[in-house]
A and B are shown apart, each in its own frame.
Chain A
Amino acid sequence: MALQRLSLRVRQTINHARALHSTSFCQQQEALADHSYPDQFSIFRSPEHDPASQTENHIGQFYTVPASHIHTLFPHGLPLRYQQQIKTFNEACVMIRQPALEVISYLKQTDYNKPALRYIFYGTNGSGKTMSLCHTIHFCYTQGWLVLHIPDAHRWVKNCKELLQSSFNSARFDQPLQATEWLRNFRITNESFLTKIKTKHRYVWTKREFTEEGSLLGELVDQGISRVKSSSDVVGAVMKELRLQSGQSDAAFRLVVAVDGVNALWGRSTIKKEDKTAVDPDELTLIHNARKLMKNDWNGGAIITTLSQTGSLYSPKLSYRPQELLGQRGFDCMDPFIPVSVPNYSEKEFESCYLYYIDRHWLQHPQSHTEEGKKELIFLSNRNPWMLDKICAFL
């Protein structure tokens, strides 16, 4: 009898305790979900999914990029961790932040008969420059522009497995693998334009192969993908055509050139020639053509770039400012440009990211839902987006 009563009481206390534990948890979630579910939902999620109509009121909120856009627009542009996050969460949510909004507002205001303006996103490692760039490109895509996106210029100056001497100019070197990969991604992004734009010049590839004037750009790109040897020259030709045609009054498109890690174009490379001397980036066809694109001698578009220390070669770890990373030559080429600073998360943005992770059940550790846990996260990550992502990954 006593035992039964005891066991009953024990069971009661266990149930009570379990209930306490779980209900507090559930209560929190329910509380979060229930009476503030609509609020909660709109605190960190923006009602506007179109970049064109996002304003400063939406700073800190997440908006979803439709899956179709991701596949076409970003076959190669997003940071690796973010791609994994998309797969895990089954949605691509981008935070609306001030730097991207600023550049989008400038893009809305510019007169496209004037020479292309250059914007450079700069900031410390992991502060969100590539994501800001992707946000801006998404805006341009939704406005129907032609997107020429070089995902990471650093990848063109290091780890090159095949280096061919260029047939066009024997002093330069070709990188067929990188060029074909880029052409393939370019084709995926700009399918619709490839059938509309016609070339203005005649290109001779070999004695028998040539591309006539007036042929479609799509054919040129296909030529580059199939004939791997001349793919770097095809890339150069594509860039030249687009540059020439974008400013004309009869052009059907606006061109946005987006380069991530633009400081690679004027930095050093780790590729070595056969006699073990280092290759100057000047001598690489891809880099040479990209540099020509960076000059603002064409109209009807914009050049949006980011500086990146993470992939850069021979640059000190703590440098993040334009002149430090671009160097003298780079600065002279890019001048005048508009530098846009990308800082770490503000308090509001951090809140938003934290709530998003909780909503996606990414933060599993019970202590991470408490105030102290949040303070710990702030302290450990210093509100740096990349650091926060790394820390939350194993919570």
Chain B
Amino acid sequence: MASYSTKAFLILGRINISRSRLQNATNRATYVSVLSMNSPTGNRASCRYQVGVPRTEKMPVDQDWTAVYPSAAPFRPNAVPLPVRMGYPIKGGVAPDKKANLELIKIPNFLHLTPAAIKKHCEALKPFCTEWPLALDTDAKCDEHFPIKVQTTHFVSAGPSLRNPSARIVHLKVKLSSLNLDDHARKKMIKLVGSRYCKKTDILTITTDSCPLRKQNYDYAMYLLTVLYHESWKIEGWEAEKTVADMEEYSWENSPSQRNLLDTLTRMKVVEEEGGEEVRQQLLGQAEVQEYKDSVTRLKNEGENEDTLLQYKEAVKKVLKL
């Protein structure tokens, strides 16, 4: 209460100063003159604090906005000429308006990053940039000449320390089709990297964050790529023990399906049971058998749906001559 009343006195004091012609009176003198007054004056109604016209009314339409918000600043309702409303609507009404709206002040705003401001930033940065090479005008050409793409993030913030530990993370993306890999090497590479390879986009992503500095992580990622490439080209002794369960896709040769079909076909032609190998080759060469082989491979690789099942049914009917 005491502070409240002293504030009232101070205001009164200032008003007195503006009224009186004591232009050079300092604040200290004002306080003294106010404090010397024993009772608050009764002319509070006349001493109303003059609220100025908000700046928004004086803003021309084609003003330079970058001057209003040159840098990040909290929301100032008298400086933003937009009729913004924010917050939970009051009962039977709408959200509160922008005057003294804490919700608008709390949130981050990007009023300092309008397109005009960005343009100015770009113009300021242009002297430090070099020109984009004209030969690289399409994405395909960029991929062809620069297949490895390295993505890093730089952080700028003001605080007790300028460093950000997330700045050390390096993502290295490369398309496997741009690497020189044969069939075995490609399969081995995919098995080695596991979940880092995306089948749909054929992109291998190596993310490194084990070293403390960005440069170290980048070197490590390049090293990993080199090692993976060379290792996948090598053929180890134990790779000969690859079983059917390890295979990435289904192959019809030497599968139970092939055996079953040949058994059935040989039994269907009961007369010509001799011949063995030749009969097998002859049977395998038939068009219906090829069709059957395609349908089974499609069924196993693509999974089952009405389409593949219908194709399989037709192929079986043809092979078994129904």
Contact = CB atoms under 8 A, between A and B. Distances in A.
B267 interface: yes
Interface stretch (A24-32, A155-163, A332-340): A332-340
A336 B260 contact: yes
Interface stretch (A132-140, A308-316, A319-327, A347-355): A319-327
Interface stretch (A52-60, A107-115, A224-232): A107-115
B322 A339 contact: no
Contacts of A336: 257, 260-261, 264, 292, 316, 319-320
A168 interface: no
A296 B316 contact: no
Interface in B259-282: 260-261, 263-264, 267-268, 270
Contacts of A113: 270
Interface stretch (B91-99, B199-207, B305-313): B305-313
Nearest to A336: B316
B312 A106 contact: no
A81 B62 CA distance: 81
A39 interface: no
Contacts of A114: 267-268, 320
Contacts of B292: 336
A335 B304 contact: no
A297 interface: yes
A117 interface: yes
Contacts of A338: 313, 316-317, 320, 322
A296 B313 contact: no
Nearest to B255: A332
A323 B299 contact: yes
Given A321-B304, A323-B299, A335 B260 contact: yes
A332 B322 contact: no
Contacts of A85: none
A341 B260 contact: no
A117 B263 CA distance: 13
A299 B263 CA distance: 13
Contact of B260 (A117, A321, A322, A332): A332
Contacts of A299: 267
B296 interface: yes
B309 A339 contact: yes
Given A110-B322, A115-B267, A323-B299, A332 B257 contact: yes
Contact of B256 (A110, A323, A335): A335
B267 A297 contact: yes
Nearest to B263: A297
A2 B214 CA distance: 107
A221 B313 CA distance: 38
Contacts of B255: 332
Contact of A337 (B256, B267, B303, B316): B316
Contacts of B264: 115, 296, 336
B322 A109 contact: yes
Interface string B56-90: 00000000000000000000000000000000000
Interface string A89-109: 000000000000000001001
Which of A114, A332, A335, A340 counts the most chain B CB atoms within 10 A?
A335
Contact of A335 (B257, B306, B317): B257
A45 to B, nearest CB: 31
Contacts of B304: 321-324
Nearest to A298: B267
Interface string A176-211: 000000000000000000000000000000000000
A321 B303 CA distance: 10
Contacts of B263: 297
A117 B320 contact: yes
Nearest to A117: B320
A188 to B, nearest CB: 33
Nearest to A323: B304
Contacts of A340: 313
Nearest to B261: A336
Contacts of A337: 316
B16 to A, nearest CB: 84
Interface in A326-378: 332, 335-341
A262 B99 CA distance: 75
Nearest to A296: B264
Interface string B106-122: 00000000000000000
A297 B260 CA distance: 10
A357 B119 CA distance: 77
Interface in B284-318: 292, 296, 299-300, 303-306, 309, 312-313, 316-317
Contacts of B320: 114, 117, 336, 338
B84 to A, nearest CB: 48
B252 to A, nearest CB: 11
Nearest to B267: A115
Q: Which 6 A-B pairs have the closest CB atoms?
A: A332-B256, A321-B304, A336-B316, A114-B268, A335-B257, A115-B267
13 contacts: A109-B322, A117-B320, A117-B322, A297-B267, A322-B304, A322-B309, A324-B304, A335-B256, A336-B261, A336-B264, A336-B319, A338-B317, A339-B313
Given A115-B268, A332-B255, 15 more contacts: A106-B322, A115-B264, A117-B320, A321-B304, A321-B305, A324-B304, A332-B256, A332-B257, A332-B260, A335-B261, A338-B320, A338-B322, A340-B313, A341-B306, A341-B309
